[in-house]
């Protein structure tokens, strides 16, 4: 989703099929586990391209559609690593900090069009991607530090996203909700 033309074509196809876009959830990300001194600029740009540039392009394209409709819900998936400052993920942490900052700024700009913009910052979650990669070993480290000492599940994150997408969240914008079993407790 970090190619402007691909994003424009996707939005055009969705509009042709459904005639509207009410909700956008930006959840694409890459999470490479690399000590900062081993991150070269190509790797830095790859993470920023997927995690930040793609989100920006989707928000811009869908935001225009939502502005015309006078309504919309944008939910950006951030991460609790920005709060925790998790080591060996410096480029990922920086990208998720950018997501949180962009979420706040965009909320201030497009709220007047009836669009809310929020972020959800999950902790380590037992998803297919996590379980297939090197991050699955992180549970041994993270779970004992959580107030609720168990692995997070996608089902733990989804209700928060659903709430932010709902009419009940009409007065919530520019916020980041941390859903991490009390790992960061703030």
Predicted pLDDT at 124: 76
**What is the b/e burial string over 99-135, where b = at least 16 CB atoms within 10 angstroms of the residue's CB?**
bbebbbebbeebeeeebbbbbbbbbbbebeebeeeeb
Range 48-56 average pLDDT: 96
End-to-end CA distance of the chain: 32
pLDDT tens string 12-21: 999 999 999 9
| Burial (CB count within 10 angstroms: exposed 0-12, middle 13-18, buried 19+), residue 141 | exposed
Range of the domain at 158: 4-179
CATH code, 26: 3.40.50.720
**What is the b/e burial string over 1-28, where b = at least 16 CB atoms within 10 angstroms of the residue's CB?**
bbeeeebeebbeeeeeeeeebebbbbee
CA distance 104 to 175: 7
pLDDT band at 146 (very low <50, low <70, confident <90, very high): low
Handedness of CA 38, 40, 43, 45 (dihedral sign): positive
56 in Cβ contact with 78 (< 8 Å) = no
In a domain, 185, yes or no: no
78 in Cβ contact with 103 (< 8 Å) = yes
**What is the b/e burial string over 37-47, where b = at least 16 CB atoms within 10 angstroms of the residue's CB?**
eebeeeebebb
pTM of this structure:
0.92
Number of structural domains in the chain: 1
Q: Spot the catalytic one: 18, 71, 92, 141.
A: 92
- Bridge partners (DSSP) listed for residue 122: 179
In a domain, 184, yes or no: no
pLDDT at 163 over 90: yes
Predicted pLDDT at 149: 85
141 in catalytic set:
no
CA distance 85 to 148: 20
More confident position, 182 or 17? 17
pLDDT band at 120 (very low <50, low <70, confident <90, very high): very high
């Amino acid at each position: 989703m970090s190619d402007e033309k691909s994003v424009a074509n996707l939005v055009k196809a969705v509009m042709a099929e459904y005639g509207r876009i009410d909700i956008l959830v930006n959840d694409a990300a890459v999470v490479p586990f690399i000590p900062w001194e081993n991150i070269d600029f190509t790797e830095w740009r790859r993470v920023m391209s997927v995690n930040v540039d793609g989100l920006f392009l989707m928000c811009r394209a869908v935001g225009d559609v939502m502005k015309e409709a006078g309504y919309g819900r944008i939910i950006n998936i951030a991460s609790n690593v920005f709060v925790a400052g998790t080591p060996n993920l410096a480029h990922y942490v920086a990208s998720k900090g950018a997501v949180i900052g962009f979420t706040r700024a965009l909320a201030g700009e497009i709220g007047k069009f009836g669009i809310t913009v929020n972020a959800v910052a999950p902790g380590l979650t037992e998803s297919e991607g996590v379980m297939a990669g090197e991050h699955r070993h992180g549970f041994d480290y993270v779970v004992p530090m959580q107030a609720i000492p168990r692995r997070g599940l996608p089902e733990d994150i989804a209700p928060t996203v659903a709430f932010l997408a709902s009419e009940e969240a009409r007065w919530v914008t520019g916020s980041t909700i941390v859903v991490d079993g009390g790992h960061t407790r703030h």
